[in-house]
A and B are shown apart, each in its own frame.
Chain A
Amino acid sequence: MNSEKLNVNLPGLQLKNPVMPASGCFSFGQEFSKFYDLSKLGAVMIKAATHEERTGNPTPRVAETASGMLNAIGLQNPGVDHIIEHELKYLESYDVPVIANVAGTTIDDYVIVADKISQAPNVHALELNISCPNVKAGGIQFGTNPQTARQLTAAVKAVSDVPVYVKLSPNVTDIVAMAKSIAEVADGITMINTLVGMKLDTNGKPIIANHTGGLSGPAIKPVSLNMIYQVRQHLSDIPIIGMGGISKAADIIDYISAGADAVAVGTMNFTDPYICPSLIEALDNEVSEMDHIHDIKGRAYKSLQGEWV
């Protein structure tokens, strides 16, 4: 067992391993508990909570693309109060820290949700969703302007009882400027959210009812890897949880090599519901020659700087 080699401590989060399901791909965990013991996970990133219940977008909401998929769910969720009373309560029976994804259409919305959900006993950190491409108001609006993003993060930080991570959108021209601005106030960064994409049917019409959707899955891994690699070189201390197309243990090694501290698995939870515990097991072998998984953290750029031997 190399279990200690996989322990990762981040603000608010003592992770027994650096693997967690990504928000939106795990609902609130109940369904996955039929497949495996959720306590095996490093953490759980729950589906976005908004102030009021949201019914989401019209269907079709998903479409498969080459090595990936598009989704435009539209943040369907039962609202923060229901989530605290039911979904988070359910997760209390597992020994796993929860990262609560917070979404909204106005700064006030985010503040209300963050204030409430950060008080739940098993919520150890927040993930600010300023990068959802599938809602008309809010979401990505906050995630494409560095000043607005920082302002929102500061407002949430002021009311949150737990550390605040911000989920970055790849749909920006300068990811480093974005990360730098947010890092001034945030406790950590999660990256990346989905890339805006489209799929047409044989008649030339968009398949997704929302016309565009967020692209996820193995197809986006190179994009995410590069963005983390860029951000890490400018921000050596900010905790980064990396995500985008992870399907095997070697992908996790890549993400840590690019500079991530921990990783989240998204789309592949649909393909193989057992993917997270399988990866955690496989990771054990990957670290057999290391003292700790972070031995290789950032080696992708360090090697270029001559710091890696």
Chain B
Amino acid sequence: MKNLMKVASQEEIADHIYEMVLEGELPERMDTPGQFVHVRVDDSTEHVLRRPISIADIDKASSQFTIVYRVEGEGTRKIAKLKTGDTLDILSPLGNGYPLEQNDEVLIVGGGIGVPPLYELSKRLNQMGVTTTHVLGFNSKKDVFYEERFKSLGRTYIATSDGSYGTEGFVTDIIRKLNDPFDCFYACGPKVMLKVLSETMEEGGYISLEERFGCGFGVCYACVCEKTDGNYVKLCTEGPVFKKGEILL
């Protein structure tokens, strides 16, 4: 599960948003979109907690996978400085991803740094012949990324909350106007977005949640959330993907 991966490339693709391509044996064992990797910042003990980052793209043929993350604090700032050829200590693949269901039309909704895992998801669904429509929300024009990638897979709409790019408003403003029937939706993004989607979408769907992680493999009990049935689940091992309505948002 623990692997040293080599950095194949890294670049800043939007404001504070970095895309890193990693190379090694891991992609061989990566199967489900929506799973995450747990990244050790460096081999010192300054940062004792790994950083959970979702997998954006898996390319088994070239033994590579891609992560996209936002530089938020000192740890991610250090990761962002890594250069081609540097190595990164990674635990993966962790968590349960999105179920790949054979539908006709699905809606894929991403918000901010919740967008990356949806790319691998959409890619896989398209390979299965599923038609995907993408609605992606960002704060501002400078935060937008992966628009072209999603466009190559299906209809793609962008919303920015300040109106500086695409439609002004939230992803839900776009979805309301779509008027299309979907068999199912897949979402990843801020909790408030997932809550509104879960409440307004008539279709069933899957959402991916975020929480502060400790270990990432189920032992520390840091990332629990409450289910609608009153039980508690660990996001890292039982999630991060759940069925709509399963989690109390």
Bound together: yes
User: Which A residues are within 8 Å of any B CB, using their own CB?
Assistant: 24-27, 31-32, 34-35, 47, 55-56, 59-64, 66-69, 71, 73, 76, 217-218, 247, 267-274
Pick the 3 closest A-B CB pairs, nearest first. A27-B219, A62-B222, A270-B215
The one of A31, A76, A270 that contacts B48, using a Cβ cutoff of 8 Å: A270
How many angstroms between the C-alpha atoms of A64 and B91 in the bound complex? Answer: 18
Are the CB atoms of B221 and A27 closer together than 8 Å? yes
A73 to chain B: which residues have CB within 8 Å?
A: 220-222
Known: A267-B48, A271-B48. A59 touches B224 (CB 8 A): yes
Interface residue B245 (Cβ < 8 Å from any Cβ of A): no
Interface residue B211 (Cβ < 8 Å from any Cβ of A): yes
- Please name 5 further chain A to chain B contacts, defined as beta carbons within 8 Å, in addition to the given A25-B220, A69-B49, A217-B45, sorted by A numbering: A47-B221, A73-B222, A270-B48, A270-B50, A271-B48
Looking at chain A's contact residues, the main secondary structure is loop
25 CB < 8 A contacts A-B: A24-B220, A25-B219, A27-B218, A31-B217, A31-B218, A34-B217, A56-B221, A59-B212, A61-B212, A61-B214, A61-B224, A62-B49, A62-B220, A64-B75, A69-B214, A76-B221, A76-B232, A267-B48, A268-B48, A270-B49, A270-B50, A270-B219, A271-B40, A271-B49, A272-B2
Are the CB atoms of A63 and B45 closer together than 8 Å? no
How many angstroms between the C-alpha atoms of A270 and B41 in the bound complex? Answer: 13
B211 to chain A: which residues have CB within 8 Å?
A: 59-60
A274 to chain B: which residues have CB within 8 Å?
A: 2
How many angstroms between the C-alpha atoms of A76 and B225 in the bound complex? Answer: 12
CB distance from B90 to the nearest CB of A (A): 12
Q: What's the A-B contact tally at a CB cutoff of 8 Å?
A: 97
Interface residue B46 (Cβ < 8 Å from any Cβ of A): yes
A64 to chain B: which residues have CB within 8 Å?
A: 47-49, 75
How many angstroms between the C-alpha atoms of A35 and B110 in the bound complex? Answer: 34
How many angstroms between the C-alpha atoms of A60 and B49 in the bound complex? Answer: 14
Are the CB atoms of A273 and B91 closer together than 8 Å? yes
How many angstroms between the C-alpha atoms of A269 and B237 in the bound complex? Answer: 17
**Contact code string B191-220 (vs A, CB < 8 Å = 1, else 0):** 000000000000000000001111111111
A24 to chain B: which residues have CB within 8 Å?
A: 220
Are the CB atoms of A62 and B214 closer together than 8 Å? yes
